[in-house]
Amino acid sequence: MVRGRLMAEGVPVEALARRYGTPLYVYSQSHLASRFAALAEAMAPVDPLICYSVKVNTNAAVIGTFAGLGAGADVVSGGELYRARRAGVPPSRIVFAGVGKTREEIEYALRANILFFTVESEPELDRIAECARRLGRKARIALRANPDVDPETHHYISTGKAENKFGLDLRRIERAYRRAAAHPSLEIAGLHMHIGSQILNPAPYGRALERVAGLCRRLRARYPTFRYLDLGGGLGIQYRPDQHPLDPARFAKIVLPFMQASGLRIVLEPGRFLVGNAGILVTRVQYVKSGPSKKFIIVDAGMNDLIRPPLYQAHHEIVSVRATRGAVFGDVVGPICESADFLAQDRRLPAVREGDLLAVMSAGAYGFAMASNYNSRGRPAEVLVQGRRHALVRRRERREDLVRGEVAPRWS
Ligand code: LLP
């Protein structure tokens, strides 16, 4: 806030809303760069390969910012691979994860000559081998270990526990490596893990590393091409005022000793940590409605624009773009025809009026990327700010965009 006005770097958010309309996603480029630098510096002693997790915020301006800083990309679909390459990420720094890769996606990635596939099952291993053989190429692979540790986060976004669908448990994984070694079209490049998301305490990373330390030593001795340990993403950010983003120095303190002893090159796949706190969703109040027990602040952004609150009971701070006096108790809700369409529930909120602007904080990660056209609403515009400069990096979807791609059946 500067003189009672919320700023995005050097630009008043109010001015952005006036210029580009609402709902509007706004990202700070300096914030993106400073988060990347903080992590890169903390991990510098082991020369990390930081692969930005593209699923988190897919805008080319965001991916391109990280590519310009030397980042690679973590992708989970052919579409993300396409975006990463188009935004200038060299294929030699792209890793491809996901439990359900299709033949078409595998071949696309093989032709692009990405760094490696992270492999989640034995059938997938066989499929990648078969695709590589057909194309006359070698596929570099890292098997995904499920270390069965509790990342101490929301159960929807914890991925490294035994009951999750991801990866191979530690008993099965050695057998899978032997199977990989038997395929001449595969090259064993490393081991992958991703234990969950929004992790604020780095201790679970230490526990996961302890679980795979022996395995890594054996694999390194057995396979001369085994050289990467990909620790995935998961580094958490601030959503509530009393939280702090995971401290890269604390993370490094846990991870560095292990990495130095292992002789392996570390790959990281952070997403939320790099973009979450760099973005806000700006929305305009349409109506203020009084219910029997609380107020409903009805805004022009809905669950189609930001689904995290209803989907994960996620908390996003909501602030007034212009300083207000007084507070009300209630919900911030959108225009969608669902009771789950809320951005905040049962909260002390700024006393705003029709026409005022609110900012939903920490919305840079899994915001626009998870937006949909539900209720036939065009997805919001996205703006990148740097200092006093601002640029539209994705225009607001128009009505025609909603029906683009629809085809009438021939018999109608
Ligand atoms: N690597 C892999 C293999 C992943 O599955 C993920 C996220 C990441 C990296 C990046 O994780 P991050 O650094 O952002 O925590 N939509 C949910 C989060 C889903 C996470 C999916 N995987 C949310 O809004 O909280």
Report the nearest-CA residue for atom 23 of ligand 1: 366
| pLDDT (average), residues 182-197 | 97
For residue 255, the tally of other CB atoms under 10 A from its CB is 23
- Statement to judge: residues 62 and 163 lie in one domain: yes
- Statement to judge: residues 91 and 236 lie in one domain: yes
- Statement to judge: residues 353 and 256 lie in one domain: no
Domain-located, residue 369: yes
Residue 142: pLDDT over 90: yes
Cβ–ligand 1 distance for 226 under 6 Å, the answer no
Nearest to 6 by CA among 33, 15, 325: 15
Report the nearest-CA residue for atom 16 of ligand 1: 366
Report the nearest-CA residue for atom 8 of ligand 1: 233
Q: What per-residue confidence (pLDDT) applies to 29?
A: 98
Q: What per-residue confidence (pLDDT) applies to 2?
A: 87
Q: Print burial letters for 51-60: b (CB count within 10 Å at least 16), e (below 16).
A: bbbbbbbbbe
Report the nearest-CA residue for atom 19 of ligand 1: 157
CA distance 161 to 194: 10
51, 75, 272, 372, best to mutate for ligand 1 pocket (most atoms within 8 Å of CB):
272
- Percentage above 70 pLDDT, the chain: 97
| pLDDT (average), residues 201-216 | 96
CA of 152 to the centre of ligand 1 (A): 14
Cβ–ligand 1 distance for 374 under 6 Å, the answer no
Which domain range does residue 358 map to? Answer: 7-25+276-398
Q: What per-residue confidence (pLDDT) applies to 160?
A: 61
Domain-located, residue 407: no
- Statement to judge: residues 19 and 91 lie in one domain: no
Q: What per-residue confidence (pLDDT) applies to 151?
A: 84
Cβ atoms 156, 312 nearer than 8 A: yes
CA of 157 to the centre of ligand 1 (A): 7
Domain-located, residue 231: yes
CATH code, 13: 2.40.37.10
Cβ atoms 216, 180 nearer than 8 A: no
Residue 158: pLDDT over 80: no
Q: What per-residue confidence (pLDDT) applies to 157?
A: 62
- Statement to judge: residues 220 and 167 lie in one domain: yes
Domain-located, residue 384: yes
- Statement to judge: residues 153 and 266 lie in one domain: yes
Decide which of 240, 273, 306 is a domain's last residue. 273
What's the mean per-residue pLDDT of the chain?
96
Cβ atoms 159, 203 nearer than 8 A: no
Helix (H) or strand (E) segment spanning residue 27? strand 24-28
Which atom of ligand 1 is the closest one to the Cα of 366?
24
Helix (H) or strand (E) segment spanning residue 71? none
Q: Collect contacts of 340-346 with beta carbons under 8 A, ≥24 apart.
A: 340/303, 340/310, 341/302, 341/303, 341/310, 342/303, 342/309, 342/310, 343/283, 343/299, 343/301, 343/306, 343/309, 343/316, 343/318, 344/309, 344/315, 344/316, 344/318, 345/309, 346/294
197, 243, 277, best to mutate for ligand 1 pocket (most atoms within 8 Å of CB):
197
Tens digit of pLDDT for each residue in 105-134? 999 999 999 999 999 999 999 999 999 999
Amino acid at 194: H
Tens digit of pLDDT for each residue in 287-344? 999 999 999 999 999 999 999 999 999 999 999 999 999 999 999 999 999 999 999 9
Q: What per-residue confidence (pLDDT) applies to 150?
A: 86
Cβ–ligand 1 distance for 48 under 6 Å, the answer no
- Statement to judge: residues 116 and 89 lie in one domain: yes
Q: What per-residue confidence (pLDDT) applies to 162?
A: 67
159 band by pLDDT with thresholds 50, 70 and 90: low
Decide which of 273, 301, 322 is a domain's last residue. 273
Burial class (CB in 10 A: 0-12, 13-18, 19+), 119: buried
Cβ atoms 98, 144 nearer than 8 A: no
Q: What per-residue confidence (pLDDT) applies to 335?
A: 98
Among the listed residues 51, 131, 216, 337, the single catalytic one is: 337
* Cis peptide bond N-terminal to 151, omega within 30: no
- Statement to judge: residues 154 and 293 lie in one domain: no
Cβ atoms 316, 360 nearer than 8 A: yes
Entry field: residues in the chain: 412
Domain-located, residue 16: yes
Beta strands in 279-326 (DSSP E): 279-290, 295-299, 318-320
Tens digit of pLDDT for each residue in 255-287? 999 999 999 999 999 999 999 999 999 999 999
CA of 164 to the centre of ligand 1 (A): 14
| pLDDT (average), residues 97-109 | 97
- Statement to judge: residues 232 and 344 lie in one domain: no
Cβ atoms 103, 135 nearer than 8 A: no
Which atom of ligand 1 is the closest one to the Cα of 144?
3
Residue 161: pLDDT over 80: no
Burial class (CB in 10 A: 0-12, 13-18, 19+), 189: buried
Provide the domain count of the chain.
2
Decide which of 217, 238, 273 is a domain's last residue. 273
- Statement to judge: residues 299 and 267 lie in one domain: no
Which atom of ligand 1 is the closest one to the Cα of 270?
13
Domain-located, residue 353: yes
Cβ–ligand 1 distance for 74 under 6 Å, the answer yes
- Statement to judge: residues 293 and 350 lie in one domain: yes
Tens digit of pLDDT for each residue in 44-73? 999 999 999 999 999 999 999 999 999 999
Could you give the 3-state DSSP secondary structure of residue 277? helix
CA distance 396 to 301: 13
Cβ–ligand 1 distance for 120 under 6 Å, the answer no
- Statement to judge: residues 107 and 222 lie in one domain: yes
pTM for this structure?
0.97
CATH code, 45: 3.20.20.10
CA of 252 to the centre of ligand 1 (A): 20
